[in-house]
Each structure stands twice: as structure tokens, then as C-alpha cells.
Structure 1
Amino acid sequence: MSWPRRGLARVRTWRRGLSPMGMAAVVVSFFSLLPLVFVAWVTIQAGWATVSLLVFRPRVADLLLNTTALIVLTVPVCAGLAVALAWLTERTDLAGARVWAWVCVAPLAVPAFVQSYAWISLVPAFHGLFAGVTVSVLAYLPFLYLPVAATLRQMDPALEDVAASLGHGPWRVFRRVVVPQLRLAILGGSLLVALHLLAEYGLYAMIRFDTFATAIVEQFQTAFDGPAANMLASVLVVCCLLLLLLEGGVRGRARYARVGSGTPSRSRTVALGRYAPGAAVLLAATALLSIGVPMLTLGRWLLVGGRDVWRMGEILGALWQTLAFALAGGLLATLAAFPVAWIAVRHPGRFQRFLEGCNYIAGALPGVAVALALVMVTVRVALPLYQTVFTILVAYAIIFLPRALVSLRAAIAQTPVELEQAAGSLGHSPFGVMRVITLRLAAPGAAASLALVGLGIFNELTATQMLAPSGTQTLAMRFWDLSGELDYAAAAPYAVIMVAASLPLTWLLHVQARRRSGR
């Protein structure tokens, strides 16, 4: 194809992306990048003198050291433990492997700040870096376990058989064949854990370990110091972008798949033999620390409080507000993600990939940075929108848009384009085709999107605290207020409700992950 024809084809593809659906995707991407753009704008507007004064100071150096130490210590421990647990549950003759696999995923149902609450109420002196690393590993381990276990289930066993036939022992086969195939899963899960460590506020505030997130919220709540908080947010955003670049660079361009589909076969089961008791102890200890401690602590405080802690008027009011925010935020995020997912699937191209990438990058930003940006934007530009339901819903949509985008993209990709073409040939308008065909067939994916975003909003704390209208009391906010007053018994019912609401979706996530691999 000649250069003019190639250029014309690119222009046509670009124009298709800027159809009404494409324009909607552009608007969504613009709002998603608003926090990032705002942080950059504030930094430029402040000038180098102010930036250097606020950034290059001992306080920021201490926060950077704390955050770096937290990531450097937590991520490798999570990765090593996740690989060990995944291998035991997927590749060995461990008794009750299916049950143990679910137990390894179950900590997802316990919000990180509830984990911290359980430990600090059990051991009041549990503070500092060691406490932060311990609770972080227990709270975020499933984010690494899930992709590693899925990769082990789908890995071609022929590669290991060939290596064994060449005389390599089991450990050498695992190190030279299995671990390289787990590289993408480990890197992706590690990135997700690291981003959560940067964004988490409640966990570290409760154990008195200072990070950028805790410092930003503290600065905002005590002094409403815009320049200082914004500079901290700028450093936090730079840290997030550096993590994204680091993960992309380490991942490289290596291939991890065969050319042909091959013959389906199951991996060989490794007999644990005399190591079986040790494996069971490792799994039991992990379950006890990550699930047992929160459940036992909550049960103890419920027994201590008795019936008095079940103040149903307050609890039902907080539950109603939480459900309303979760439903409205889930709907908004799902609707916002639809045009981006649709053009990415139906009209793939560089421009469309750029729009999709913008939303993933924005979703990697910590909730505290998104909330701070929206606070400053509404205060400076649209004051009537400050601390309104509209603003908090926009924040939810930005923070959780990637969750909605992943589900919708997969659902639209599974909708045959031929059905849409057939409906169009019968006289339906483009929006009619979308309503009659696309939306109906993509409804399960939209429901999954709504559920995933709703669960995130159900347990969200930082952005809700900073943006919610006066008088708002969600389950997470009410739990935080009561635990901050050291009224652990009164806080327990709110934590129990959050965990109970999260368990079904966590179970569904576990079941779907196994179904996709045919096991």
C-alpha cells in the first residue's frame, strides 16, 4: 500500500474512533486524566522555588524512605509466598487442595484497614515498619496468588517433561522452566500490590506508619494546606508512574506461549511425601494470620459488646448510604467504561489504544491523589460542586474505571460483530443495534463490572472521607470513626457487614478463575 493510501486509511480509522461513541470515549478519558493533569498544572504553577522548598525537605525524604522500604520488603515476601502457596495448591497431592485454594483467595474479602484493626486491637504495640509489612503481606497476598495460580494451571506440562528428560532434577526444572513462565504473573501481581501500598491510607494510619497517603490526608484534614498536600501528591504520582515504567521495562518482549494449541494435558502432580505436614502448616499459618486473626478479633469484640453494639438505626443508615453510593458509582463507572471498551474492541487502532491506556494509567493513581485533585478543582473552579454527591461519584468512576473496563471489554469482544452487522442491514440505526444486540449480549459483563466496582466502593475510605457531603456516614467511615475513638466493640458490626458483603464476590472470582482454566 502506498504512503497516501496508508495515510488515508489511518485518517479513516481515526475518524471512526471519533464517532459519537468515540467522542464519548475521549470525554471519559479526559476526566480520567484530570487528576494527573491537575497535579502537573499545580506543580508548574507553583514554580521551581516553591516546588523545591516543599519537595526537597526532610519530611518528604522520610516519607520516601518509608514508602520505598515498605515496597522493597513487602513485594518480594508476597511474591515468594504466593508462588509457594500456588504451587502447593495447583501442582501437588496436597489434601484438600481446592479448599486451600479458596482459603488463599479469601483475604480479599477483608478490607486492609480491617486487617490492621484486628491486629492493633489484638496487639496494641503493633506499630512501625514491621507491622506495616506484616499486615500488607496478609492483606494483599491474593493479588499475587491469583495470577500465579492461574498461570500454573494453564502452563504447558510438556516443557517440564522435556527438561526432566534431559536429566534436570525437580528443583532445577522448577527454577529453569516454571519460574520463567511465571514471570508475567509475578510482575503484574507485584505491580498491583505496589500500587496498593502507595494508595493505602487506613491500614498505615491505624498502625502509625507514615506514608505519602497518610501524610496527604493528615495535611488536608488538619491544615487544608493546598500547596504542601499537592506537592506530596505530585511525588506520589511520580512514584506510581515510575512503578509502571519499571514493570514495563522488566517485563520486556519475551514470548510466553506456544505457536500451536497443542493437545490438552494436565500437569503432573508432585507427591509431597514427608513434606506434606510442613506444607499443611504453611497454609494453615497463612490462613490463621490473614483470616483467622480478623475473624477471631471481630468475634471477640462482638461478644464483649453484646447486643448494645448492634445499634440498628445507625447501622442500617450507614448500610443504606453505602449501598446507594456503591450502586450509583458502579452504574456511572460502567456507563463511562462502555464507550472506551466498545471502540477498543470494534475499532482497534493506535488512537483507541491510547484512550484505553489513559484510563488504565489514571486508575493506577492513588485514591487520595484523585480526591485531592477533585477537591482543588471544585474549590477553585466549581465551588458549588465541592463535597457533593456528584463529585464523590466522579471520584469513584475515575478510581474504579479499570475494573469496569476489563469486564466490559471482554464481554463486548465475545459479542459476534456479525450479529450487529445483520441488525444494521435490517434497518436498525447504530444506537438501535447497540441497544438490541450489543447491550443485551454484553449484559453479563456489565453486571460483573457493576459488582466489581460496587465492591470497591463498598470498602472505599479515603476518597469518601475527603469528598463526601457533610453528614455522610458509610460503613467504612463509621467503622473508621469508632475505631479511631478506640471503641473497637462498636466498630465490629460495621467490619462484619463489610466482610460479609465481600465474601460472595470473592468466591465468585475464585470460581471463575478456575473455570477459565477448565479446572
Structure 2
Amino acid sequence: MTTTSTGPTGPSPRRRTPVRRRGRSSVHPSPVLRLLALLSVVLVATPVIFLGVQLAGQPDGAAWAALWRPRTLSLTLNTVGLVAAVTAGTLAIGVPTAFLLARTDLAWRRGWQVLTALPLAVPSYVAGFAWVSLTPLRGFWGSVVVLVLVSTPYVTLPVTAALRRADLDVEAVARTLGCGPVRAFRTAILPQIAPAAGAGALLAALYTVSDFGVVAIMRFPAFTWAVHTAFSGSFNRALALVLSVVLVALALVIVLAERALRRRAAAPGPVRVGAAAPVRLGGWQVPSTVLLAGLTVAALGVPVATMVVRSVVSVAEREAELARLGEAAVVTVLLGLAGAALAALLALPIGILAARYRTRSVGALETATYLGHGLPGIVLGLSMVYLTLELVPGIYQTPLVLVLAYALLFVPKAAGSVRAAVSQVPVSLEQTARTLGRSPVGAWFAVTGRLAWPGVAAGALLVALTAMKELPATLMLRPTGTDTLATRLWQLTDIAAYGAAAPYAVTLIAVASVPAFLLSRHADRQADPT
């Protein structure tokens, strides 16, 4: 696009100088970095490609017969309805909670910041088991309640950060023009936090699509439960593959919606520096505190208290497997950390490219990475079983396969953190290091890598937290004779040994609380550095 300027000789074309965003580089990415990113994407996409190849190899008509069964349509409607309800619920709870934490004079705000993030440490199947044992909740609404409670932090955390960094001058202008506080917030602040709220809600939607534990406990016929039944029960290969492909397609629709939302989001305005005057709650102080306390009890207190009481009874009755519990805890932590390290390693080239360059090829690589983000654990486990048995049977049911599965499932979480962390480092700092004689790699590690390290570590923590709770892929891929806290918990609850299962649930929550707490502190520092 060009503009014209009038000089002595008449109009002459003048090129518009491109505006470079902070952290973007005008230099083409190095072939090595692009190759590393491509290899990471190929690894992430391999299970989906393999599913398609396997599906194409089924007997004529078998796939179509499985696809057009009335049961498949019913499962689709059930899953879509569940995703819609959970997404709406997380927004309805998460946005007001974030407003209380970020914009008001709520008492004990930092404490509530931590408590509203800790439900991330509660595995959905543990929360589901607790609610089933205490209430008559079952089926669709039981699944909705539990999934909303454990998924709301996906909305609360990013919206809180967005509210704390929002430009308040626009809201002040709206107030001076006669808008009331609600209308001013809706017209001036809501557009600024909409991308964060949408991204969080879509994460909750992806979590709902991939969840297996809650729908199985609540006996709600959703896709993940049907895939697991087809694989482990009747071992109907064609049906399992068809349901897996439909589930991946549904998840990819959500991923593409997330990408479209990010592309349509307006460029961020000025970032607020320093604290703004909080909104005084006045008479709403007590109701707000009661609301947060109720949500904390429902999301955190009910599962923790239920499991602690059952654990005490289990120890008193000598039902607890203390030695096996300790071994499972160690295995869980080691596998989670190994999966997080591999995911962060695979995410580095993708995140760096996405942060520094905005070309079609880089955008395509980043989009392809989200195949893993939309790939439910049960589908990945199914594809990894077939893949290892046909290509490298020697590594089947070894820790290597499980660590690789964790990395493929959760590398997009790490890539998003890498992209955000690297984009916050001005590219001029790296260029200055180059002028001082450092090589490109040396300059990156000395400047960008050093400054972006906290964000990269936060992404790895998120992967470790999620991997420790992962159930369906772990059930399929764990080495023979090896238990994690999640798999042993599921085995015991499956045979109604609830007392013996409770210590595993408590230990799993305690272990996962450490990265959840660190993530809440990191988000708080990023949102409010003062």
C-alpha cells in the first residue's frame, strides 16, 4: 500500500514505513530454528496422522457404518452440549471473580488469589468422586457442576491479569460522558479483557472435550467415555478410530476458534503502570467474601475434606498402602517433570518463531502445534498404542512412551508461555548483544533466554501440573507393574475400594498444589509487578 506526496515535479509515490511491534524481528528466521520447529510440529501431529491412516485402512464400509450410527450423533450432541454449558459456567463465575480480585478493595485479596487458583491442582475425577459420594448429582448436570468448578481458574487467572493491566483512561472518559459504572465498564474495559476471557474459556472447553474421569464417574455418555469403552471393552477397532477422529475434529474446531479470536483481537492499548484506586465494595464486602468462600469450599473444600476423612479412616482400618503410595508419588513426580522438560524443549523453537516472526509459514506451524492442545488424552493414548506396536514395539509400555505422550499432549501449553515470555523482550536488546561480538545463539541465551526464563519455567510448571493429573493416556501407556497416583486411584475406585483410594487422592492434590501455587504467584507478579 502506498501514499503520495506532492513535490516540485508533482505527485510521487512514497512507501509507508512498516511498523514493527515490540519483540518482532524483520530478519527472516534461521533455517535451523525453522527446522527444529518443523520437527516439533511433526512429532505433535504424528498421532493424528496415524489415526487417519489407520482409519483409511479399515474394511470397506466399516468406518461409514460406525460414523452414521445414531449413537455417534447422540454422543456428538451430548459432548457439544457439555462443552457449551461448562464454557458458559466458567465465564459466568470466572469474570466476576477476577473483577473482585483485580479491581475492588476486597479483604485478603492475595489469599483469595491463591485459593481461586488451587482448584487447578484438583483432578477432575477426584472432584467427581467426592461429589458423587456426597450428593445425588449424576449425568449431565453433575458433569457440568464438577467441570465448571475445576475449570474456572482457566478464566479467572488471565482475566485478573488483563484487568490489572487494562488502560483505565478510556473508562474515565466514558464516565465523564455520562455513562454509569456498569455501562462504562462494559464499553471501555470489557473489550480489553475479552481476548483473555475468550482464551480462558476456550481452554476450559478443550479441557471439557478431553475429560474422561468426570463423565465416567457421572455415567454421562460423552465421546471420551465411549472411546475408552470401544477400545478396552469390545475392542471395536473401527468404532474406536471413528469416534477418535470425530473427537479430534470437534477439538480442532475449538482450537481454530481460539486462533480466530486471537487474530481478531485488537492491538493492546497502553498498559497501566501502578495501582489504580480500588472500587469500594461497601455493603457488598460480606456477600462477595461469602461468594468466594462458597466457591472455594465447592471446588477445593469438598474434594479435599472428603478425601482427608476417608484417608484417616483408611489408615485407622489399615487399608492404606503406604509403601505403594510412596512409590506412586515418586513415579508421578518424576514422569511429570520429565514430560514437562521435554514439552518445554519441543516448545522453544515454536514459541520463539511465533514471538519474533509473523509470516504465513510460522503461523501455519504454530496452528499445527495446537493439534496436541486439541487432542484428548484417550485419543493420544490409543494412537500411541497402535504406533508403538507397529513401528517400535520394543518401547511399548516403557516410561519413554509415556513421557513422550505427555510432551505431545501439553507442548502447546509450554509454547504459549514461551511465545508470551519471548515477545516481552525487545529484539533491540538481542541486536545490541550481537554488535558486542556474540553469536546469534549466544546473544539469545545471554539476553532473551535469561529474561524470558521465568515465563518459560511457568509454562513447564503448567505442563508438570497437568501431566501429574493426566489419566486416560496414562492408563493405556504406563509400564506394566508401574503405578502413578492417578492410575492407582482409578483402579481402586473402579473396584469400589474408596477407603484405600483416598490417600492417593490426597497425595495427588498435595503434589499438584505445589506447581499450582507457584503458577498463581507467577501470574500475580506478572499482572502486578509493583
Q: 5 Å matches for 1:332-411?
A: 332-345=342-355, 349-410=359-420
Letter in 1 for 2:398: T
Of the three residues 430, 444, 457, the one matched with 1:417 is 430
Q: Distance in 1 between matches of 2:186 and 2:377?
A: 38
The corresponding residue for 1:82 is: 94
Q: 5 Å matches for 1:14-25?
A: 17=29, 19-25=31-37
Is 2:121–2:465's contact at 8 Å kept on the other side of the alignment? Answer: no
Letter in 1 for 2:430: V
Is 1:374–1:395's contact at 8 Å kept on the other side of the alignment? Answer: yes
After alignment, is 332-341 or 57-66 more displaced? Answer: 332-341
**How far off is 1:115 after superposition?**
0.7
Q: Is 2:308 the counterpart of 1:299?
A: yes
Distance 1:455 1:118, change over 3 A: same
Q: After superposition, what is the alpha-carbon deviation per residue over 1:415-445, rounded to whole angstroms, capped at 9, x for unaligned?
A: 842476257x46x6x7677777776666555
For structure 1, the 5+ residue unaligned runs are 2-12
Distance 1:339 1:194, change over 3 A: same
**How far off is 1:232 after superposition?**
0.2
Q: Is 2:504 the counterpart of 1:491?
A: no
**How far off is 1:347 after superposition?**
6.0
Is 1:411–1:445's contact at 8 Å kept on the other side of the alignment? Answer: yes
Of the three residues 143, 165, 181, the one matched with 1:132 is 143
Q: Is 2:60 the counterpart of 1:52?
A: no
Is 1:17–1:352's contact at 8 Å kept on the other side of the alignment? Answer: no
The corresponding residue for 1:468 is: 478
Is 1:157–1:265's contact at 8 Å kept on the other side of the alignment? Answer: no
Letter in 1 for 2:167: D
The corresponding residue for 1:454 is: 464
**How far off is 1:357 after superposition?**
2.6
Is 1:82–1:141's contact at 8 Å kept on the other side of the alignment? Answer: yes
Is 2:310–2:502's contact at 8 Å kept on the other side of the alignment? Answer: yes
Letter in 1 for 2:376: P
Letter in 2 for 1:280: T
Q: Distance in 1 between matches of 2:388 and 2:523?
A: 41
Distance 1:412 1:328, change over 3 A: same
Of the three residues 287, 291, 312, the one matched with 2:296 is 287
Q: Distance in 1 between matches of 2:160 and 2:460?
A: 25
The corresponding residue for 2:18 is: none
Is 1:181–1:256's contact at 8 Å kept on the other side of the alignment? Answer: no
The corresponding residue for 1:513 is: 523
Distance 1:357 1:330, change over 3 A: same
Q: After superposition, what is the alpha-carbon deviation per residue over 1:140-198, rounded to whole angstroms, capped at 9, x for unaligned?
A: 01111111111111111212211111112222223333333322122111111111000
After alignment, is 447-456 or 477-486 more displaced? Answer: 447-456
Q: 5 Å matches for 1:417-456?
A: 417-418=430-431, 421=434, 425=437, 444=454, 447-456=457-466
The corresponding residue for 1:8 is: none
Letter in 1 for 2:247: L
Q: Distance in 1 between matches of 2:26 and 2:107?
A: 56
Distance 1:161 1:438, change over 3 A: closer
The corresponding residue for 2:48 is: 36
**How far off is 1:202 after superposition?**
1.0
Distance 1:195 1:254, change over 3 A: closer
Is 1:17–1:351's contact at 8 Å kept on the other side of the alignment? Answer: no
After alignment, is 45-54 or 216-225 more displaced? Answer: 45-54
Q: Is 2:104 the counterpart of 1:92?
A: yes
- TM-score with structure 1 length normalisation? 0.88
Q: After superposition, what is the alpha-carbon deviation per residue over 1:226-282, rounded to whole angstroms, capped at 9, x for unaligned?
A: 211110011101111222333445666252533x56x73644422323333322221
Of the three residues 262, 275, 288, the one matched with 2:284 is 275
How many residue pairs get aligned? The number is: 502
The corresponding residue for 1:480 is: 490
Q: Distance in 2 between matches of 1:25 and 1:256?
A: 26
**How far off is 1:289 after superposition?**
0.7
For structure 2, the 5+ residue unaligned runs are 2-24
RMSD of the TM alignment (CA)?
2.8
Look up the SS of the partner of 2:61 in the other structure. Answer: helix
Is 1:200–1:213's contact at 8 Å kept on the other side of the alignment? Answer: yes
**How far off is 1:384 after superposition?**
3.0
Q: Distance in 2 between matches of 1:442 and 1:170?
A: 38
Is 2:55–2:63's contact at 8 Å kept on the other side of the alignment? Answer: yes
Distance 1:420 1:19, change over 3 A: farther
Letter in 2 for 1:135: V
Distance 1:466 1:134, change over 3 A: same
After alignment, is 453-462 or 351-360 more displaced? Answer: 351-360
Q: After superposition, what is the alpha-carbon deviation per residue over 1:99-141, rounded to whole angstroms, capped at 9, x for unaligned?
A: 2222221211211111112112223x43101101110111101
Letter in 2 for 1:172: R
Q: After superposition, what is the alpha-carbon deviation per residue over 1:293-318, rounded to whole angstroms, capped at 9, x for unaligned?
A: 11210121022223424422111221
Q: Distance in 1 between matches of 2:306 and 2:215?
A: 19
Distance 1:40 1:138, change over 3 A: same
**How far off is 1:330 after superposition?**
2.3
Of the three residues 191, 200, 211, the one matched with 1:189 is 200
